[in-house]
Amino acid sequence: MYYDDDSVYENDDDFEKEEVQDQLLLPDDLESEMADLILDVRSVLQVSEGMARILLHKFKWNKNSLLDKFYESPDTEAFLVEAQVIPKTTQPSSTGEDDCDICCSFGELTGLACNHRACEDCWKHYLTEKIMEGGSSEIECMSPDCKLLIEDEKIKFYIRDKTILDKLQRLVINSFVETNPVLKWCPGQNCQKAVKVADPEPRLISCPCGTQFCFSCCQNWHAPADCALLKKWLKKCMDDSETCNWINANTKECPKCFVPIEKNGGCNHMRCTNKSCKFEFCWMCMGCWRSHGTAGYQCNRFNEGQDANRSKHRAYLNRYLFYYNRYITHQQSLALEEKLKETVAAKMAEMELKGMAWIEVQFLKKSIDALAKCRRTLMYTYVFAFYLKKSNHSEMFENNQRDLEMATEQLSGFLERDLENEDLVTLKQKVQDLTKYVDRRQEALLEHCADGNEQDLWEFTENGV
Does residue 238 sit within a domain? no
**160 and 17 part of one domain:** no
- Number of structural domains (the chain) is 4
Looking at the fold, whether 377 and 412 belong to one and the same domain comes out as yes
* Residues 274 and 256 sit within 8 Å (Cβ to Cβ): no
**Same-domain pairing of 79 and 169:** no
Q: Mean pLDDT over residues 65-87, rounded?
A: 91
Same domain (yes/no): 277, 411? no
Q: 395: pLDDT confidence band, cut at 50, 70 and 90?
A: very high
CA separation for the pair 115, 58 (Å, rounded): 24
Residue at a domain's end among 271, 301, 331: 301
**267, 272, 288, 374: the active-site residue:** 267
pLDDT per position as a tens digit, 311-336: 677 677 778 888 988 998 899 888 88
Whether residue 166 is found in the same domain as residue 195:
no
* Amino acid letter for position 216: S
pLDDT at 169: 93
How far, in whole angstroms, is CA 257 from its chain's centroid? 41
* 409 and 343 within one domain: yes
| CB atoms near residue 438 (< 10 Å) | 24
pTM over 0.85: no
Confidence of residue 357 (pLDDT cuts 50, 70, 90): confident
Averaged pLDDT of the chain: 84
Most confident of the following: 12-16, 33-37, 337-341: 33-37
pLDDT at 290 over 70: yes
Question: ω into residue 224 within 30 of 0, thus cis?
Answer: yes
Mind giving me the DSSP string for 337-361?
GGGHHHHHHHHHHHHHHTT--GGGG
pLDDT greater than 60 at residue 9 = no
Point out the domain boundary residue: 175, 205, 235: 175
Q: Is 267 a catalytic residue?
A: yes
Per-residue pLDDT band for 151 (boundaries 50, 70, 90) equals very high
Same structural domain, 78 and 163: no
- Find the CATH number of the domain harbouring 382: 1.20.120.1750
DSSP 63-89: HHHHHHHHHH-S-HHHHHHHTTSS-SS
Do 357 and 449 belong to one domain?
A: yes
Does 171 lie in the same domain as 142?
yes
Using 50, 70 and 90 to split pLDDT, how confident is the model at 400?
Answer: very high
Q: Is residue 368 part of a domain?
A: yes
Do 55 and 118 fall into the same domain? no
Among 52-56, 135-139, 253-257, 302-306, the range of highest mean pLDDT: 52-56
Statement to judge: residues 80 and 23 lie in one domain: yes
How does pLDDT run across 417-430, given as a tens digit for each residue? 766 666 777 888 89
* 356-384 mean pLDDT: 91
- Highest-pLDDT range among 44-48, 99-103, 254-258, 378-382: 378-382
Q: Is the pLDDT of residue 391 over 70?
A: yes
What is the extent of the structural domain holding 69?
6-88+179-214
Within this chain, do residues 23 and 121 fall inside the same structural domain, yes or no?
Answer: no
What's the pLDDT score for residue 303? 58
